[in-house]
Chains A and B, each alone.
Chain A
Amino acid sequence: MFITINGSKAPLPDDPRVSLLDLLREHLHLSGAKKGCDQGACGACTVLVDGNERILSCLALAVQYEGRSITSIEGLAADGALHPLQQAFIEHDGFQCGYCTPGQICSAIGMAEELQRGVPSQMTQDISKGTIAHTPDEIRERMSGNLCRCGAYNGIVAAITEHYTGAEK
């Protein structure tokens, strides 16, 4: 019974009640993913499954992810260098207190993959097409599951836009 966390194998808990978030934070001492609400309302616990599928680790039982690969914010920076999206959040003031930031960044990475696949959102005018642009409206809608109580949303949208489109804003 193993799960892979940021490239390393870890044993699954014996008690099936342990959430994926508690496995990360309490068992493995990876405190990047945050327990904001613990009920699926805030997005601060967002992590990536098998590369780039974003999920809420607070609503996931760790045992359900046996054999899967989980990436938390700690797994994004390679060899001590920030992931370019992390750098973009710094440059665009994509946070103030930083509490929601790990979830925001994991969520944005998952969102980019969904856009590439053509997953529609309620902002998508023509859902019959397979490709969707990174417009600010699309980004805001698709990131609506990640709350920022500092209200750094404009910086977050700017950081994501620049990272994925190269546009300054």
Chain B
Amino acid sequence: MTPFTYARATDAAEAIRLGDRPQAKYLGGGTNLVDLLRETLERPTALVDVTGLSSTIEERPDGGLLIGAAAKNTAVAEHRTVRTRYPVLSRAIVAGASAQIRNMATVGGNILQRTRCTYFYDNDGSRCNKRAPGQGCDAIDGFNRIHAILGASPACVATHPSDMCVALAALGAVVHLRSARGERTLPLTDLHRLPEDHPEVETMLEPGELITAIELPALSFAARSTYRKVRDRASYAFALISVAAALELEGGAVKDVRLALGGVAHKPWRAWKAEAALKGRPATVESFRAAALVELSDAKPLRDNGFKVELAVRTIAAVLGELMGENA
């Protein structure tokens, strides 16, 4: 690690004051950032510890839920309202990492975690446009079994590793932000960027901007939601494909649906096209598969990850089928 100063912020105003300078980084549970510091992939000169900021989970008058960005992943997954009204979020969180890491990791840090592309981490041996802009990408013609099939660019084919964010994307979560210039909100689906020509710029956050909370909108049919993760091991591995889904049925048809994918893109991938293709259609495996194919029609697989296309289609169909339950 390169040297840095450490300060613990007691509230958001202090955090922003301390964090509003180049080379400062906000520190949550450290489960990703400490690793990146050790690999010198991150070289901040100042760390501002924001784990003492709001971690409350409170019900909103409109029926939604406001989650402080310092809430631990475990605290969100075990929260009674999350378990009963947004089960997809509980299930996505417990599909990620290990229990120890979920106890440490904050919601804000989970959102801002960086890719686990092995070429990004290979500081000495590989070229990476994310690590060294303009250098080139060794993943595109390398071992790219785990890489993106949607929304990638000639500059970067890395994926976003979060499970939690896939559920947040499906739920239409809104991110609350604060900086020296004031407060604003962004839909989670607009927070992360696609790589385009600048994969080193991963989010729409401005310098010094801090995530203060995540808002889950009231979504009554989210009680019928779930998350499925397909990976190389039964537990404690990043997703090859993951699917977050919520389903509302009416008279044998899809009244409303939410669908998001993990392991496929540089950001949590809301499957807008599949959702549009499903609404009003008969709730059958055939419709589910057809809608999944619409979403995946844009897929551009690489040498080693062509399997992800059919795996995504099948997983979407299976998860929606599971949500049908006894209506199947």
Mark A residues whose CB is within 8 Å of B: 15-17, 19, 38-40, 43, 46, 53-56, 58-61, 63-64, 66, 107, 110-111, 114, 117-122, 124, 127-128, 130, 140-142, 144-146
Contact = CB atoms under 8 A, between A and B. Distances in A.
A64 B235 contact: no
Contacts of A124: 94
Contacts of B80: 130
A120 B100 contact: no
Contact of A127 (B83, B98, B236): B83
Interface residues of B, number: 39
Contacts, number: 107
B87 interface: yes
B129 interface: no
B34 A120 contact: no
Counting from the closest, the 9 A-B pairs by CB-CB distance are: A145-B98, A16-B6, A144-B235, A119-B78, A144-B236, A17-B1, A56-B100, A59-B34, A127-B83
Contacts of B34: 19, 58-61
A142 B102 CA distance: 11
A64 B49 contact: yes
A15 B47 CA distance: 12
A120 B78 contact: yes
Given A63-B6, A120-B90, 8 more contacts: A43-B100, A55-B104, A59-B31, A63-B49, A64-B8, A64-B30, A122-B235, A140-B235
Nearest to A114: B99
A33 to B, nearest CB: 12
Contacts of A118: 78
B78 A145 contact: no
A58 B32 CA distance: 11
12 contacts: A17-B37, A39-B38, A56-B101, A60-B30, A60-B104, A61-B6, A64-B51, A107-B99, A111-B99, A120-B78, A120-B90, A122-B235
Given A38-B38, A120-B90, A127-B87, A16 B47 contact: yes
B144 interface: no
Contacts of A43: 98, 100
Interface of B: 1, 3-6, 8, 27, 29-31, 34-35, 37-38, 47, 49, 51, 74, 77-78, 80, 83-84, 87, 90-91, 94-95, 97-101, 103-104, 229, 234-236
A151 to B, nearest CB: 15
Contacts of B4: 16-17
Nearest to A130: B80
A140 to B, nearest CB: 8
A127 B99 contact: no
A120 B38 contact: no
Given A16-B6, A17-B3, A107-B99, A40 B83 contact: no
A111 B94 CA distance: 13
Nearest to A140: B235
Nearest to A56: B100
B99 A56 contact: no
A54 B99 contact: yes
Nearest to B4: A16
A66 B99 CA distance: 22
